Structure formats: structure tokens, C-alpha cells
Chain A
Amino acid sequence: MIYLGRNLLYTLFTLSITFGSALFFSGCTEETNPVETSPDLQTIHLRFAPYFGTEPLQLGEKYLTTAGDTIVLTTAMFYASEYALVNVDGSESTLEGITLVDFGDSQLSSEGYFEVDLKGEEGTYRGLKFNVGVPFDQNHRDVSTQSEPLGPNSGMYWSWNPGYIFFKVEGRVDSIGTPVNFLYHTGEDNRRKTIRLASLNGNDITEFVVEASDGHTDHEHNVFTVKVDYSKFFEQGVEIGQPMQVKMKVAERTNHVGPKDLADRTAANFAEMFSWVGE
């Protein structure tokens, strides 16, 4: 628009193409998302509820891992993206949005869950799908063009290896003497995991309904809960058949891009943490 100098018509034409595609492909879709204003989409309140086994998880509280380590979590965050509802015929309806789920106290509701509001069509569904991580394209776009929940201030960006940390699990082993800290920062495209959730009744899937809210945007309608169980994160260590041994093994305490075996393990473990509670 600055350089509408020479061939005005041509420039306008090119711009219209540029903007059409920019809106469609870039982070702009998040801000100018036409879907959100569409009247026939329902608000779906998706609640991620953190647990450690059967107990609700609270950062700073003590929990016992499979290996027998008493641990305290201090950070528990992850990106959820590429949401989709699974239709009864098995096809999928994508829902817009990317979320940085943060189980830090200040981010949680008083009932201890992290709520994400999605938009989807009313109907009967058999499941929910999403990815833990950031979609490839957004993972590698110039960070200075991105905004919340992505962007340089998200606290999840690896500037030296452009891309996002998909999840962070940080904390310490609660023991006397020298503190033992752990820090798992896992990312990279090959560690993006797809989570498929459904409500199983024996071998049968129980369908659920996204209702028309008749204009109500209250929290009575279309509330679904997903349990996120951090005890599962520590059930399997790098060595098959052994739990994660945070206290005993230095090699199971810290990862970024590497060490590869631990980073791969944490990504696999993270994918095991989710289960469908439903309405």
C-alpha cells in the first residue's frame, strides 16, 4: 500500500491476492477468524483437569511417582492445537484454535481446571482429537510475526533452534540434602503427538452431543472435561520396563532437543496422560 506508485491496478490486484492468501495461511486467521462470528457455531467448553493419579494436581504439592520418588511439580504447560471433533461416521470436523494450557495456579479456575473455549457445530460426535504441539507451519514461521499464545514472549520459543517447546514439565524431587531438579522441555516436529479421545463403555464408544445453546453462552451447555494425569508421565523411563527414575538417574532428569532417547520418551509419555471424562 505504500508503493502504490506505478501500475496502480496491477498493484491492487497483486495485493488482493497477497492479502487473500495471507489471511488464509498466516497467523492472521487467529485474529480475523471469520468462523468465530458465524452464528451457527456453538461454544464448546473444553476443560483440561490436571491430576496426579486419582488426586487433583496442584503445583507445589508432593506426589509419589511409580519409581517411589516424592516429587513436586513447579511448571506444567503444553500447547494443544489442531482440534477436531470426530463425527459418527469417523470423519473429522476441525475446530480452530491453538492453546497454551498452563496449570500454574493463576491460570486455573477455582475448581482447578484450565478451560479452552472452542467453536463447533451442533451435532452428535464420537470423539475429540487434538495435537500436543504447534502445527508445522506455525512452528517455523518468523516468530516476530506471531502473537499469543505463540510469539517471542510465550516463554515456549526456542530462539536458537527456531520452533516451540511443545510441553514443559519442571519440578524437583523432595528430598533432604542437595536438591534434585528436573526439567523436561520437549519440542521438534517429530515429537508432535496426536491425542484421540473417546468415551468407552466396554468396547463401545459412547457418543456425545454438542447442543445448540439457543443463544445462551452460559457454562451449562457443552462442557466437556479431559483428565490430564501427570503420574503417567513418570510411569515409563528410557529403559523399557523401568519407570522414570528422576532421583536415581541423571540421564532421566533433563531434556531439551536432546538427549534424544529421553526427549522421545517424554513425548511418548505425555501422549499417555489424556483421558476423556466427558460431560
Chain B
Amino acid sequence: MNNIETRKNIAALSLSLIILGVAFTSCSEDVGVTPPEEELFTYALPEGFPEIVEPEDNQATEAKVELGRHLFYDKHLSRNLSIACASCHLQEHAFSDPNRVSVGVDDRIGTRNAPSLANVGYNRSLLWEGGVKTLEQQAIVPIIHPDEMDMQTDTLVDRLRGISPYLALFKAAWGDDDITIERITKSLAAFERTIISGETPFDKWKRGNETALSKSALRGERIFFTERGDCFHCHGAFNFTDNIFHNNGLSETEDEGRFRITQYNLDKGKFKTPTLRNIEVTAPYMHDGRLQSLEEVIDHYNNGGDGHSNSDPLIRPLNLTEEEQLDLLNFLKSLTDEEFLTRKDLSDPWQ
């Protein structure tokens, strides 16, 4: 019965041989092609940071990252040319959004606050409820979302074909100037993996510079990394996140977080732990931007949260003194990587 399969197999094999002789055509041409080693992108990793893991079919090159950066800062990606990725992920805010929730084309209001993209290449899952696994797959989300860029992918491809700088950029990145949505999302993802931040006073202190942190910040560090504050259980490791989902005691809203994906009652109100790197410049806070300042965040934890039924057991009244709260605040402020907020290789290439 399976002679259809067999015939297909043979046909596929002979086709693969034919393809060797003729020009390669669309479709899977980019899949599995490994650039030569000397063209691979070298990530400038801060001391102590693990390697960036790239998907096998999208290894970064300088040219691909450069193309991705141009796309990231380009308003042509939105239906009415009003919004770029960078409109909601601003470098001076560590690639997060100072708006409480996102504002898309025609001023359409979203439901969530755009998180910082610092070190996003290390995240095991993406979006607040973690439904998306790769940056390649994430990149399509804002493009087609009606409340964000509201774009048809075919329209986008046609549009970019008419913008001359892209012909050279695509050719350099992909070998020819064919523009496809697959190349667009892959290039964006390659750029995003280069958004790496790890040069903070805290990092310098860790590497042995004893004066990099103030006395108060040092006391805050002890609160953060001990049972006194218990922050490190969730915001631990080099990127201040355990990369999993918790309920940190925010009062319930319609947004059910992780539950939306799993439908497990115990996942109601759980969200992915965000990084706290550059937290000073990423206000407002939490998935819906409900807290305006770090003082409010510290109040929230110090009070033991708002009493959500799924609240994590670690969330409990901490009874921090005024001084301890200030110390914790100063510690959080030592997580800002000033250089990262203006670094040229991450900034708008169209200017």
C-alpha cells in the first residue's frame, strides 16, 4: 500500500540530486546551511555568562545580525508605518517599554507590559506565559498581532523588496537578495541574541572590585540572596531569573498567565520570572505594568503580596525595616548596565 511513499522517496532522492545541478529554489534553502566558521558571529560575553545557544538552522553571522538590527528599528514592519519593534522595546529602557501596557498601530492598547530584552537569548521560553520557545517563532507574534504591528507577512515582504538598502543587506546576510518572511524572523532573532547585558556595578563587585557597590547596596545584596528577602529563589543565577513560572502574589485579574497554556488550576496567575538586570530603567513593573516604581515593588513583597490563592509560599510578609527596604532598593539599582543603554552596536542603524 505504501508505494506512494516509496515513489515519493525515490522522487525526493532524485530531486535532491537534480538540485545539485540546478539553481536552488525557495523553500528550505536556508535550513541547515552552516556558514563557514570565520563568518560566524562572536558574542561578546561578560565574564561568567554561559554560551548563547543558537538553533542549528540559524547560526548568526555579522551580516545577519546587522540585517536584524535594521529590521528591529524599522517602522515598515507595521501596517501604517507607525511602529517598529524598537517603539515598544527602547534601548534606553533596556529594551522595555515605559508605557504601562503596549500601544500598537492606531493607538491600540494591549494588555501587557513589554519586558526587557536584555539577555533574551538565554530565555528558555518567551512571553509572560512562556508559550513560545524560540526567538524565531516569537518574532512573528508582534508582526501579525492586530493590537501591535497588524501586518500581513506577504505585504511586509513586498514592501521590503521596494526598499533598496534591504537588497544589499539580505544579499550580505543570506547570499542573495531574496526577501522572505523566514529570513526576516530569523534575522530578527539573530540580532536579539546579541542584546546581552552584564557590565553592572554588581558584576564588577563579583569580579573582585570591592568598591563597586555602596555599603547600603551590599547590605541589600545580603537581603536579596538570603532567606531574609528570599528573592534569589526565583530571581537567581547570572540573569536573575530561574526561567520558570511563579505566582508572586499579585491580585487576580483576567490575565491568567501560564494557565492559558496549560489549563492547570495551579498555574493560574503564574508568570515567567523576569530578569532584574537593568530593573531601575524598566518601569513600570510586572506583566501588566501595574506597579510604577521599585519602591512599590518592594512594598508589594514586604507585605507578602496581595493574597492570591495561588501565591507562592515564599511570598509572605518580610517585615523589612525602612533601612532594609532602602538597602534592597540600592541593591536593585546596582543592576544597571549604563553602557548597554547606549551601546552603538545595539542602537538604531538608520540614523
Contact = CB atoms under 8 A, between A and B. Distances in A.
A26 interface: yes
Nearest to B265: A260
User: What is the size category of the interface that chain B forms with chain A?
Assistant: 35 or more
A91 B1 contact: yes
A151 B153 contact: yes
A143 B186 CA distance: 11
B127 interface: yes
B12 A152 contact: no
Contact of A153 (B32, B139, B141, B152): B152
A257 B261 contact: yes
A93 B137 contact: no
Contact of A23 (B12, B129, B141, B175): B12
Given A1-B33, A16-B20, A32-B15, A153 B28 contact: no
A91 B7 CA distance: 18
A221 B185 CA distance: 45
A31 B15 CA distance: 13
B5 A257 contact: no
Interface stretch (B34-42, B43-51, B77-85, B195-203): B34-42
Given A34-B8, A144-B184, A159-B145, A258 B137 contact: no
B27 interface: yes
B62 to A, nearest CB: 14
A16 B165 CA distance: 33
Contacts of B5: 94
Interface string A9-53: 000100111111011101111011111001000000000000000
B326 interface: no
B8 A24 contact: yes
B261 A34 contact: no
Contact of B140 (A20, A35, A152): A152
Interface string A137-156: 00000111100000111000
B263 interface: yes
Interface of A: 1-3, 5-6, 12, 15-20, 22-24, 26-29, 31-35, 38, 87, 91-94, 96, 121, 142-145, 151-153, 157, 159-162, 256-260
